[in-house]
Amino acid sequence: MKLRIGLLGGGSWGTTVASMVARNSPTIMWARSTEIVTDINTQHRNEKYLPGANLTNSLKATTSIKEAIQDADVIVMGVPSQSFRQVLLDAKPHIRPWVPIVSLSKGLEQETQMRMTEIIEEVMPGHPAGVLTGPNLAREIMAGQAAAGVIAMVDDTIAVALQSVFRTGLFRLYTNDDVIGCEIGGALKNVIAIAVGMGDGVGAGDNTRAAVITRGLAELTRLGVAMGGKPLTFAGLAGMGDLVATCISPLSRNRYVGTQLGQGRKIDEIIKEMSMVAEGVKTCSVVMDLARQYDIEMPITHEVYKVINEGNTVKDAFRGLIQQQSGSESDPG
C-alpha cells in the first residue's frame, strides 16, 4: 500500500517536493494562499513561486491543514524556520500517532537556537523526526535536471522506507543517520552564501569566491562537529554539496541577498522586495550565539552578522577578514 503524504507549505521548495512525491504517493499540500491552492488544483501550476513549471497532475492542494494531514502516513514540513513551530502546533491536533515528520527547512529558530527536528521532538514527542536536505534548487529540479539529496533520520529503517517516497527518476536520494550534521550544514551554508554574494556584489573574483566557500566550509564543519555532527557529513551532499550549489547559483536567494548588499543596498530594502525567505539573514545571529556557546571561531559568519545587524559595509567585512591572522589550514580551530 502506498503511503499517503501531507505536505505543509506552498513555497517553491515545498511545492517542488509535493510535486515529486505525488508521482509516488497520494499527496495533499497545504498552502495559506487561496490563489496558490486554486492554481494548483485547476492549472497544475504554482505561478507565484514556480512560474512556468508544470506540477504533477495528481497533486491536490487545500487551505485546510486538517484536510491535508488528517489521513497522512508521512508529514512533510515545507515552511520557513521562523514559522515552523506555529504551523506544527496548528497541525498537531490532526496528526495521527507515530507518523514520521520530515523537515525541508534549512534554518534555526531564533528564540531557542533549536534545529527543526528538535522542535518536532519537543512539540510531537514519539514521532520519528527527520530532514530532507542537500544541493536542491527547486527550479532546476522542476526543469527536469538531475539532482541528489539526503534523507536523514536517527532510525535508518524509516529513512530507507522513505527513500521510495521522495526518490524520482532524476532525483537520487541517499540516507544518513547524522541528523544534527545534516541540519547544521543546511542552515549554516546560507550564511556563507551571503558572504559569497557580498564578494560578487563588490566585484571580487573567482579566487575570492573559492576562498570564502572553502573557509566557510571549515567554519560550519567546526561548529557542526562541536554540536555533535559527524565530520564526514560536511564533506557530503548536506555539507559541501549544498554549500557549493547555494554559493554559486544565480537561483540562490541567500547569494542574491549578499550580492545586493555588496552593491550598497540596505538589508531591510532587499528583504522587503523578496517574495521568498532567505533563511541566512536570520540564521546568522543564531549561529553567532552558538559560536560563542561552543567557543568556536567563525570570522566569516561574524562579518556577515555585522553587515546585516550592525550597519557595517561589505568593504568593512572584507577588511576585517583580511586583517584576521591566518594559522595552519590543518588546525581544527
Across the strands, what pairs with 74? Answer: 5
Please state, in angstroms and rounded to a whole number, the distance separating the CA atoms of residues 69 and 28: 8
Please state, in angstroms and rounded to a whole number, the distance separating the CA atoms of residues 126 and 96: 11
* Catalytic pick among 66, 92, 189, 282: 189
171-176 and 60-62 strand pairing: unpaired
Q: Which amino acid is at 187?
A: A
> What CA dihedral angle connects 12, 15, 16 and 18, to 10 degrees?
160
Q: Give the closest residue to 240 by CA, choosing from 267, 220, 268.
A: 220
Measured CA to CA in angstroms, residue 119 lies from 133, 142, 160, 229 at distances of 17, 29, 23, 18
Active site residue 315: no
DSSP 216-245: HHHHHHHHHHHTT--GGGGGSIIIIIHHHH
Please state, in angstroms and rounded to a whole number, the distance separating the CA atoms of residues 161 and 87: 25
Residues with catalytic function = 189
